[in-house]
Amino acid sequence: MELDIDFKLVSMLTSQEHQRAQEEITTLGMLTAFRQSLQRHDVALDAATDKNTLACKQGCYWCCYFSVDVRAIEIFNIVQFIKEHFSVERLQQIRDELIANSKVLNTLDEVQRMQHNCKCPFLIDGNCSIYSVRPQTCRNYHATDSRGCQQSFEQPNNMDIAPEYAPITFQTGASQVDAFAKAMHNAGYVIDVYELNSAMLEALDHPDRTWQRFIDKKSAFSVTGNDVPLEFMELGE
Identify which range of 21-29, 36-44, 122-130, 216-224 contacts ligand SF4 by CB under 6 A.
Answer: 122-130
Query: Which of these segments, 63-71, 96-104, 171-179, 184-192, binds ligand SF4 (CB under 6 A)?
Result: 63-71
130 binds ligand SF4 per the rule CB under 6 A: yes
Among the listed ranges 41-49, 97-105, 142-150, 176-184, the one in contact with ligand SF4 (CB under 6 A) is 142-150
Identify whether the C-beta of residue 13 lies closer than 8 Å to the C-beta of residue 178: no
| Spatial separation of the C-alpha atoms in residues 65 and 28, rounded to whole Å | 35
Chain-centroid distance of CA 175 in Å reads 13
DSSP letter at 226 equals B
34 sits near ligand SF4 (criterion: CB under 6 A): no
| CA 228-103-113 angle, 5° bins | 40
Of 6-14, 115-123, 211-219, 228-236, the window that binds ligand SF4 (rule: CB under 6 A) is 115-123
Site membership for ligand SF4, residue 68 (CB under 6 A):
yes
Please say whether the beta carbons of 221 and 203 come within 8 A: yes
Q: What is the DSSP letter of 126?
A: T
Give the nearest distance from C-beta 129 to ligand SF4 in angstroms.
7
How many CA atoms within 13 Å lie on the side-chain side of 14?
21
Among 138, 168, 204, 220, binds ligand SF4 (CB under 6 A): 138
| 161 sits near ligand SF4 (criterion: CB under 6 A) | no
| Minimum CB–partner distance for residue 158 and ligand SF4 (Å) | 16
CB of 69 to ligand SF4, least distance (A): 11
Closest listed residue to residue 63, CA positions, set 153, 185, 184: 153
What residues have CB less than 8 Å from 43, skipping those under 6 apart? none
Q: Where does this chain bind ligand SF4 (CB under 6 A)?
A: 55-56, 60-64, 68, 120, 122-123, 128, 130, 134-135, 138, 141-143, 146, 149, 163
